Each structure stands twice: as structure tokens, then as C-alpha cells.
Amino acid sequence: IDCVSEAGSSAIVLNGSRLRVEGCRIISALAVGIRIGNGALDAASPIVTNNIIQALSGANSAAVFDNCTDALFMGNQILDSDTADVIQLDAECIRARIIGNVIASGGDDGININGCGDCLITHNIITGCTAAALVLQTGTTGLLVRNNLYTSNGTNGFSTPPALTIASGAITLKGDIDHPWSIDTQSAAASDDLDTINGGVEDKFLWLHPTTSGGDITVPANGNIEFMGNKGSTKLVAGSE
């Protein structure tokens, strides 16, 4: 099925429970290609799989996850998107799964993660975006980003390192991502201690470094942080990796 949108209208809007879009070609969309949920109308457990979205024009996204829960977006190909973020996950989007898609696009950012909760982004190929493959906005929680391939984007990976600020000696991870976390001192102090890391996943490797303009951070062997070999503490020096 070919779906062609008119000016100002999304090609497909999903509102309701357990709706499925499969095997469609969305062409020349003059607004959003697929909008999952729309304002106060909720989309519950929608499935969008094995579709082709191409030749989007204007500042419009290929897919917007608006007011939805448990959405599955899998195996889709997004080609020739224009100036907007290709996929946008908004704050009302909960537990979306973005799996195994190909974004081969001239769009701005590949996936704009704009405050969603408990979303999974894995095994996608993101290539050709003029800005970054991924953007992480404030308010996002419980994010899982693993095993994606980024090539030939303005920035391969996140636009800026996901940032966390120490509060009373602790940081709380926004999720489990295969990318370094940038850590800042509380109130931009010249130095700070980090003794507690909340929100981690067992056996997950964490890559932490201080912000380039921030203060030095000492990680003592107390709180919920332990060091091998009886090492007492370590220091993360501002501007280092």
C-alpha cells in the first residue's frame, strides 16, 4: 500500500489499542510520515514494522512517538528524509522499542530522545544524518541504547556526551547506554566527591569522565562503589578521558 499525505496532514496516525502498520510505502509526505499517538489520544501497543518511508519534504519527521505506550517500531527503512529529526521520541512516549531499523537519510538528527521513559534503541543502522545520530534531551529516564551502527553522520553517536551532575555525592544514570557519561561537579565546584552511582545495571561497563570545563572529581571507595586490588580512591581530572 502506498500512503501519500496531503499538506499539513500526517500520512498515518495511530490512535487506539494494538494497531498495526506493516508493509506500507509512505512517499512524498508533506507532514509527519507516521505519528504514533496524537495529543490526548493514546496509542497502546502499536506495531509499525517492515515499512518504507521516503521522500519526506519540509521540516517534518519520518516518525513521531507522541502519546503512546509499548510501541514497537522494527525493521523499517527510512530514506531521503528532509531537514527535521528523522525519529522523535517525546515525553509522553513510554516503553517504545526501536529495533533493527535502517535510517539512511539527509535529515537533521537521526533519533531525538526528547524525555521519553524506559525506551529501547538497539540494532539500528543510522547513516547520512547531517547533525548527530542521537540526541538525548533532559527528562529522559530508563533509556537502553545498545548495539547500534552509526556511519557518515555529522556526529556518530550522541550530539553531546550524556551529562550528569553530582548531587550530595551521587549521580543517577538515565539509563543503560553504550556511550561515555560526562560528569559535572555539584554547583560547578572546583572539586567534588562521587561515592554513589544509582540506576546502574549489574555487570554493565560504565565509562565516566568529567566535563572539559568542570572540576576534578574524586571517587572514594565508599558508598556503593568498590575498587579491585584494595585501591583507596581514584581521581577524574577535568578535561581528561
pLDDT interval class at 72 (50, 70, 90): very high
Q: Is the confidence at residue 58, as pLDDT, over 70?
A: no
Q: Per-residue pLDDT tens for 101-134?
A: 999 877 789 999 998 999 999 999 999 998 999 9
Identify the pLDDT of residue 177.
83
**Region of poorest pLDDT, from 5-19, 52-66, 185-199, 217-231:** 217-231
Helix (H, G, I), strand (E, B) or coil at 196: strand
219 forms beta bridges with 234
3-state SS, residue 19: coil
| Of 180 and 73, the one with more pLDDT | 73
Q: Does the pLDDT at position 85 exceed 60? A: yes
Q: What is the pLDDT of residues 189-240, one digit of tens each?
A: 888 888 888 887 676 777 787 876 667 888 887 778 776 665 556 766 554 5
pLDDT number for residue 149: 94
CB 79 within 8 Å of CB 52: yes
pLDDT at residue 199, rounded to an integer: 80
**pLDDT value at position 236?**
62
Query: What is the mean predicted confidence (pLDDT) over 142-159?
Result: 90
Q: Rounded CA gap, 142 and 59, in Å?
A: 29
Dist CA 111 CA 206 (whole Å): 22
Q: Which residue has the higher pLDDT, 165 or 229?
A: 165
Closest CA to 160 of 193, 232, 205, 209: 209
What's the rounded Cα separation, in Å, for the pair 228 and 7? Answer: 61
